Each structure stands twice: as C-alpha cells, then as structure tokens.
Structure 1
Amino acid sequence: MRRDSRLSRMLHVLLHMNRHEGPATSEEIADMLGTNPVVVRRTMAGLRERGYVRSEKGHGGGWTLAQPLDAITLLDVYRAVGEPPLFALGTSEDNPDCLVEKAVNAALGDAMEQAEALLLARFGDVTLADLARTFARRRGAGACPPSR
C-alpha cells in the first residue's frame, strides 16, 4: 500500500520557502519534489485557502509564506492538505453479524481513535519554527545538504 506523503512533502516545501529569496515558482517546487507543477498548485491551494501561503501570478510571481513559521503547526498543514488517513490499518466488515468481528473491530477502533487523538494533539504542539530550529542545529552539525 502506498503511503500518503503530502504532509511531509508540504512541510519540506514550507521550510525551504522560508529560506528562499523571493517567491518559489510551482516549477521550482515541482522540481524539488520530483512531481508536476499542476500537482504542486493543487496541493498548495489548500495552504493558500487557509492563509499560510500566498501566490502571485506572472513574471516574478510564485509562492511565498503568508504567516511566520511559529504561527503554523503540523496540525495546520495536515488539515490544509486534506487530512489524509494517519494509519493504514482498518477494521474488517466481512461478517458484520459476527460477534468476534464486532469485538475485534471495537477494540481496534478504540485503540486507533486514541492513537489518532494523541498524534493530532502532538501535531498541534509542533510549529514549523520548531522544525526550522531542528534543521538549523543539524545543518550546523553538517548533517544536511544546502537548500536548493
């Protein structure tokens, strides 16, 4: 099963945008991510609608941050990219009248709800500024190549 990497990819993009001189074009972002500029525009649209980025058309245009990094959390970006499923696990609905299946589904459902609530709460506690500080520490230690 393919994993949904939109959250990770957009966090990556936003941190690079913070370090980028001037607007970043959809083409530049697409090149960085190895994807198509149309995919970038579609994904960035959710961030723009929530006020985290802005876009300018035409020569010299592109994407820029509309909020400081400390005003944007992982939860904000998660919601802006469409709240993709957090877990690949699911329950079975093969035999909905089976009491064993119902017991299994109840236990799994409860555990996954609790795990999801904990993860989303943690996403809300981490800002992009926190990620940028982690990057800066690692870059200072030589652990990350320079930004494109």
Structure 2
Amino acid sequence: MKQNSQLSDVLHVLLHMAEGEGPSTSEALAAAMRTNPVVLRRLMAGLRAAGFVSSAKGHGGGWVLSCPLERITLRDIHEALGAPAIVSLGFREDRPECLVAQAVNESLGAAVQEAEAALLKRLGSVTLAALSQDFHRRMVRHRANGGHGHHRLEEHLHED
C-alpha cells in the first residue's frame, strides 16, 4: 500500500520557503518535492485558503509564507491539506453480515479512532517554528562536522 507523504512533502517545502530569500516558484518547489508543479499548486491551494501562504504571478513572483511559523502547527497544515486519513488501517468488509467481522471492525475502528486522536493532538502541539529550530540545530552540527550548505532551496535541489 502506498503511503501518503503529502504532509511531509508540504512541511519540507514550507521550511525551505522559510529559509529562502523571497518568493519561490512552483517549479522550484515542485522539483524539491520531486513532483509536477500542478501537483504542488494543488497542495498549496489549501494552504493559501488557510492563510499560511500567498502567491504572486509574473516576474519575481512565486509562493511566500504569509503567517509566522510560530502560529502554524502541523495539525493546521494537515487540516489545510483536507485532513486526509492519517491511520490507513482498513477492514475486510465495510458492512459485514458476519458477526465475527462485526466484532473485528468495531475493535479495529475504536483503535484507529484513538490512534488518530492521539496523533492529531501531537501534531497540534508542534509548530513550524519548532521544526525550523530543529533544522537549525542540525545545520550547526552538520557544519561543525565539515558539512556544507543544504540550507536553501537552491542548494537542496542540487544536493538531494
């Protein structure tokens, strides 16, 4: 089963945008996500509607953050992406007649709801600012160990 990486992809892009100097084009951001610019624009539409990003067309245009990182939680981003299922445990049958399947579905369904509630609570406690701070701590260690670059979108596109 293919995992949904939209949240991870968008968080990656948003942190690159936070590090950038000025607007980032859909093409550059899509390249960082290894996807098509149309896919990137579709994902960013929900973030724009939530007020987290804005875009401008034309020369010098692109996507920019329009909200402080401290005010955006991972749960906010998840919800702006349409709140896709975060636990993808399915059932053999959705509406079983079999009493065994009914018992299994009820038990698994309750476990999935509890897991999703716990995960959403955790996502609501982590801000983009916290991710940015973690990135900066890692960058300091990386450079102290002789590493180079990897803090701007342009460098990322060449290193990954």
Q: How does 1:69-88 map to 2 (within 5 A)?
A: 69-88=69-88
Q: Which runs of 5+ in 1 are unaligned?
A: none
TM-score (norm 2): 0.88
The equivalent of 2:136 in structure 1 is 136
Q: Which runs of 5+ in 2 are unaligned?
A: 155-160
Letter in structure 2 aligned against 1:57: K
Matched positions, count = 148
In 1, the alpha carbon distance for the partners of 2:54 and 2:96 equals 47
Q: How does 1:1-148 map to 2 (within 5 A)?
A: 1-93=1-93, 96-142=96-142, 145-147=150-152, 148=154
Runs of 4+ residues deviating >4 angstroms: none
In 1, the alpha carbon distance for the partners of 2:52 and 2:129 equals 13
Cα pair 2:19 2:151 within 8 Å, conserved: no
- Superposition CA RMSD, Å: 1.5
In 2, the alpha carbon distance for the partners of 1:68 and 1:117 equals 26
Letter in structure 2 aligned against 1:106: E
Letter in structure 2 aligned against 1:33: M
The equivalent of 2:158 in structure 1 is none
TM-score (norm 1): 0.94
Letter in structure 2 aligned against 1:49: A
